[in-house]
Structures are given as structure tokens and as C-alpha cells.
A and B are shown apart, each in its own frame.
Chain A
């Protein structure tokens, strides 16, 4: 099966391409990227005025399977991914039970093999049950197919265990991803600590609870001589700490999620539980700092932190509601709206942050449109406006912090390994 994408603006920073090009796909691989390709094919996609970019590599996704299939499954989550232009996912291990041993990795691999619609990679837990007290058999996780380690949802409080984990991750060449939160500082908090928590009468989560842990974990990585990836950076102090660490030559990469550069704590003034997220939506000042950090390259990666929850867990008292927003189907549009249309980032730098950058961190051969690579491609209408509604989601959950928002930029087609897995309804 051959597909020809005609007349699109091809963005492929890995190969320094940003111009009108045709792309030929043959047998699931990219077989030609040239000014004009004229050849007989099975399917021609006219991409005039469209952006043609590598499929997104989203390295922070909660697919909830096994255990909480009522929220999301590998099948439904990867279908949502396809709609969002995402072709590779790193699945977080905080499932029920957690992915903390070889058997769990095997079970997950089995489900992925049977039901996934896009490439799903596996992150294993750092500690057994993600409880922070006993290291997993990291070599076994690796041998069975995990490519990263994280206790995401929790931080490893014990510095000694964290240091050992960093050393093991280095030895086994696994990416160590840190959810940075000092629970002794953020305990019971439900929104950002400040004016808004004061007005709402809700318990606050301080910036300190995040950045103190960012500081500690980077310090431990330096000590171990290991590389470290900081998940969902939300506040200005964390940005500063990461910037300084990079200057010092510590091997740190950092990620943020679209809600941290597009929404602030003020969105919570009517107790919208879809905006209850951990780390919390921060102050406008923090939002501005995250944007600048993206522009300056201090934050390398944008990932969704897609966190599906049922309505029963969200449409309740604010204190009792679960933390998190879904993001797979909105991450590109929010980024285009907030970063491209505002002139903050170029298309190349956005693709770098959503495709090639995370692929590099994960050490996978994705995120580019190079000849011979897997034909994982998103074709995007950059000016197309749409409104986020509950009905538009294909995810099993619809707890989006962006409900009601108008976004500019829409995925028209997603191609995964040479197959068109999503096309926007005309």
C-alpha cells in the first residue's frame, strides 16, 4: 500500500526540513520526501495549507489498563491518541496493580499487542507497588520490555532508594522519570496555594512542594552521574532549578503539560473539578515562566499527562474529586493555539518538543520523517477552529480542563506505520 501526501508544509526538525514537500509512504515506511513526487499510488492525500509533521510522541499518558478499564483502556486511549495526532505513547505504570514486575510487563505487552491502535511503550515502576520502600527488579523490567521507570503519581520520598534507582537506571539504560512532589509539604492540598485557595477556602499546594523535590532529585542524579527526566513541571522555581542544572552540565530533561502553559489557578474560581490537577494549575506568573522556559529550551518536552477519570469521580465535592485532566485529544490544538498562534514557538520547535525531543529522551527511532523511518505522521490544519465539548472525545472519559474552550489547530489525518488510523469527519 502506497500513500502520497501532496503539497503539505513538512516540518521535520531532525532533518532540518520546513518547506512544501511531498511525502511518499511505501510498506509502512517513509520512502520519499521531495519537492514534487509524481507516482502512481493507492491513496493521495491533498495536504495543501496543512502542516505535515511526525506523529506525536507523548511520553506521559495514563491508559488505566489493567485495573481501571472504566476510565480508559489501551484500546480507547490509543484511539483517542490517533485522534490527537499521537502515534507513540509511554504508558504510566500506576495501573491496578502497578507495573512493578516482569509478569505485569508481560501482561501489559499482551494487551497492547492485541488492542493498541498506536505504538505503546511501557514504563515500569521504580518501587514495588509504587510505595517507595522497595526497589523493583529493574533488570527484569528492562528485559521484559520496559523502557522507562517512574512511580508517577507519587514521588520516591526516601533519598537513598532514589539514589539507588538512579544508579540502576543508568546501568540498565532506562529513562528515570520523576514525579516531583514532597507530600509533607503538599499534604491534602487540592489547588495552588495563594490568592485563589484563600478565596475558595481550599487547602493549597505550594510551589515549594514541587521545586524542593526537583532540587533534591537533580542533586541525586548529579551524585549518581545519571540522567533524569522531570515530569509535569508547573512552577517558576522548578524552571530556574532545571536551568541552572543544565548550565552545570547535569543530564536533566524536563517536560510540561499543555494545561500548565495555557490555564491558571483562576480557572478554578467556580470549583471546576476538571481543573483539579496535580501538580495544580498555578499562578499567572508561573504560567508565564513555563512559556518562557519552553521558548528558551529549558523545558524540552510537551506531554499530555492524560489522566482519565469517570464522571462519578469528578462530578462530586471538590475535595473528594480525583486529580487530573485528559489531554491526548487536545494537546496539539492547545499547543498550536497557545504557542504557535501567539508567536512564542515556531513549528519546528513545537515538533521538536512533541515528537523528536521525547523520542530522543526515550531512545527510540521515532519523531522524524527521515527516509526509511516508520511512517508515523500527523497532518494538521493549523487555522481550523473548534470547540472542546464532552461529545467530541473518543477517550472513555471526558474530564477535560479545556471543556468549552475554542482552540485553533486540528488534526485532519493520523498515519501510523503507513496506515491511516484517523481522518477528521468532513
Chain B
């Protein structure tokens, strides 16, 4: 909305999206964080330390893998998988958690709060906290606790305290609310490791920068393997952290098409989905101006997706801007489609993707089919599917077969 622009002091805008819509109590922490991050990002010792942990602890760089059997089966463009599932803890989330934990310590904060949906960000943050000896409290919606009980146990093994959130829909949105409330009350000695490219400035920028490694590596790897840039890059979108990390280094390469895949749940038409760009309106949630699933009175609606990690009713501000200027295309895949994508990759490549990533896989299968064999598409395989096996078994109605 035009009405939100115009003030000279506004910060962290992506076009009209983003900003800092938070209680005053958090403003000083955001200002401190911005200064600390500006300082850190200019400091070679910080970058070297981060690179060290990403390499020797996380296991980067991750491979860019040519999915030959999948490519043959689809019969269109060459499909490459960016293997973020091979990171330590099984998803891209660790890139950001390590970065922000280092940043927290730089600010002298040794207590961490975080939210988690699928549990991947929670596990990644609990891991970073164990690695550096930081206190860690994780808020997780009760529905997600149920869907991802192994991840809850994993976080607890890593020494984190997991607090189930009973309120609202008991999913990621409600976990963010509680994490924000906790942060307001403990802001003086606690850093909030936000897990997606969301929230008030400077979080969308910090999370994007820590996830940019995905796209930076991909760009170099595809140039090595194919001698040229890809024709298309695809990633799934909940809040949008793996996608913005993958897209950002390609944004200026206008010939590279960017596709973000939202979760269409039971179908956009049913109202039971998590596709904020396809089905949302502009508004403010959790500190930022974004596309949000909301009713006509501005109340936030519950998101629905089989994938806990995409079950969020908004999309990060930079994606909203890329959509608005037409630089990236945002599409969606249903629960059913994601399950098909998961089976497809499992059967053709021997890789069980996370349900989140399975949305992107399914879309790539459609996209590549319509492309020529000499064209190249890269999909971000943001996480592995071990955590989802139970959910998938329930959904497929299968047992031991």
C-alpha cells in the first residue's frame, strides 16, 4: 500500500515491503543487531570464522548434482539438484543458525531464542548453540510438535528447551508470536535467531546473506559443469529463506528465470493452503510488510500444508518485491503434488527429499518437461526427508506394503 511509504527514516525496504513493525521495546535490539551485523560483515575475521564452521562443521560446499535418471524420466531440460540436504542436520537452516550464533556472541549475548516449524531450524539452532555452548529455548507449535516429534527429541538431545505453543493453530505463526513475546521480555541478554527471511529489518537481510552461500556456490558450480548459467532456478517457499539464498546471486542475471514454489495445501481454491503470494493480501505481520493470508478485517488466517516448514501465512519481504517487479515467478504445488514429487525423487534418484523441497521437485518435473534437452534447470533440494517419513506414510495410507 502506498500509504506505508514516505517516511525518510524507514529502513530495510524491498520496494514497499519489509520495514520494522515491532513494539518499541525491540527497537534498540534491532538497531544493535544492525550495527553488529554491518560491522561483522566488513570484518574478515568474522567471515573467515563463518567459512571455517560452514566447511569443517556443516560440510560445505554441498554438491550440485546432475539428476540424470530424473532428467531422463522427465525428458526435458537437464535437472541439477543443489544438495542442501547433505548439510549437517539435514537442511539449509544450519547456514543461518551458525551465522547468527556467531553474531550473537559478537554482541556478547549467550542466550538464544528461536521458533521452529518443521523443526529443521530448531534443530539447526540447537546444534549451533551446543557447538558454541549457548543457552537455547525453542518455541514450536503443538501441531508441529506432534508432526515432528523426532525433531523435538533431537533438539532436546542437543540441550535445547523446547516449548510447545498451544495457541492459535499451533503452527509456525504461533511459534513466532511466542518467540517474539519471549524476546521482548529477555531482550537485554538474548538474541532471537529468526529462521526465515522474514521479520523486522535487519532479519530479512541477515538471513538472506547467510543463505546466499547456496546461490553463490550453485552459480560457480554450474559454470564449472555446464560452462554457462542455468535457464531456470527453482526453490520452495514458506517464509522463503532457501529460495532467497538461492535466487539472490542470480537476480541480476536476467536470463535466469527464478521460480518460487508455494505450498498450495489442499488447493488454492479450497482456502486450505499456505500460498501467501497466490492467495494473500498486503499487510503487516511479525514486523514486516508482506503478502499475508488474512481475512477482510485484517485478521491473520491459518496456513495449511502437509509440510510443517511451509506452513506460514506470509512470504518474506524480498520475495514480495521480486514478485511485484516481475523478476521471479511464484507458483504453487499441492500436498498431493508434493507427495508425488517426494516419491518421484526417491524412486528415480535414491534421495528422499523433505516435504518442503518435494514441492520444488514436483514443480521442476512439470517445468523441465516443457523445456528443451539443451536447457538447464537447478532446483534447491533444501532438506532431506527423514523427518517426514511418518507424515508421508500416514498420507499415503501405506504401511509395510
Same assembly: no
* Chain B contact residues, CB within 8 Å of chain A: none
* Chain A contact residues, CB within 8 Å of chain B: none
